[in-house]
Amino acid sequence: MHAIDILDSHMAYADEGTGGPTVVLLHGNPTSSHIWRGVVPHLSGSARVLAPDLIGMGASGKPEIGYRFADHAEYLDAWIEALGLGEVVLVGYDWGGSLALDWAARHPGRTRGVVLTETFLRPMTWAEYPAPAVPLFQRLRTPGEGEQMALEENWFIESALRATNPGIADADLDVYREPYPTPESRRPLLQWPREIPLDGEPADVAERFEAYGKWMEATPEVPKLLLTTGLGQSLVSEGIVAWAEEHVAGLEVTDIGPVGHHAPEDAPEAIGRAVAGLLERLA
């Protein structure tokens, strides 16, 4: 892992491979760049592959900020500029996918391709959200209850990861657990569920999602690969896929099998092959 000073803090990142296109892998909540460990070897022979720990997560710093979507985007912007990255291929799941699309929409002409899985393609309603998760995420968004779950009980690490991806090894769970030894250190994990634009709230995040939706529709020259997981509880449901097929230009949809929400844990080979295939087509 490397580290670089960013704004008032620092960000840690993996940097493998040389030559070819630059690929940026963006993780979700509550994981870190560690989740891409099985994907990177499929790409590093023909590309430079970078995987940051988002601010407040993994080995990156924990500045005193609100950890809202806009905060993460600001630090990601600064990290990309500090490394002098030009055109990139963006790969993201969960919040990493949303941050990738947001960056692409705000930096026209710099995204060569996008690969997404288990992410937010547009604002959603509570009725569209995976039904088993609704009561849990309503609690997480409730003042007091969310703090108890995410900060005191460390729910994302101790319960949610194994619930969605039961095959996670103890050693890998320890890697995800290490950055969050105290309730205060877990504040970034709590803020993420409060940023999901559901039924229009929070409005500022919904606006950013709508903006990158317009970018996806207006950029047929940028290939966009959506990897579906074949599970009924997926964030990318059949309805979301149908919406994407109608509204996302340059879209290809590929199913990678029945894997959990943190898809790179369960299907690194399938994801790696899919991204490598996109790189070959770009070449």
- What's the distance, Cα to Cα, between the start and end of the chain in Å? 28
Minimal CA–CA distance to 13: which of 32, 28, 29? 32
Known catalytic residue: 2? no
Q: Per the residue annotation, which of 27, 42, 72, 94 is the catalytic one? A: 94
Known catalytic residue: 261? yes
How crowded is the C-beta side of 228, counted as CA atoms within 13 Å?
18
**Residues in Cβ contact with 20 at an 8 Å cutoff, skipping those fewer than 6 apart:** 46, 47, 48, 279, 283
- How far apart, in whole angstroms, are the C-alpha atoms of residue 81 and residue 75? 10
- How far apart, in whole angstroms, are the C-alpha atoms of residue 262 and residue 162? 10
E strand or H helix at 22: strand 22-26
The answer to whether 31 and 107 have CB atoms below 8 angstroms apart is: no
Known catalytic residue: 262? no
Q: Per the residue annotation, which of 27, 42, 72, 261 is the catalytic one? A: 261
Q: Per the residue annotation, which of 118, 195, 265, 266 is the catalytic one? A: 118
Angle between helices 203-218 and 95-106 (to 10 degrees): 70
Q: Just list the catalytic residues.
A: 94, 118, 261
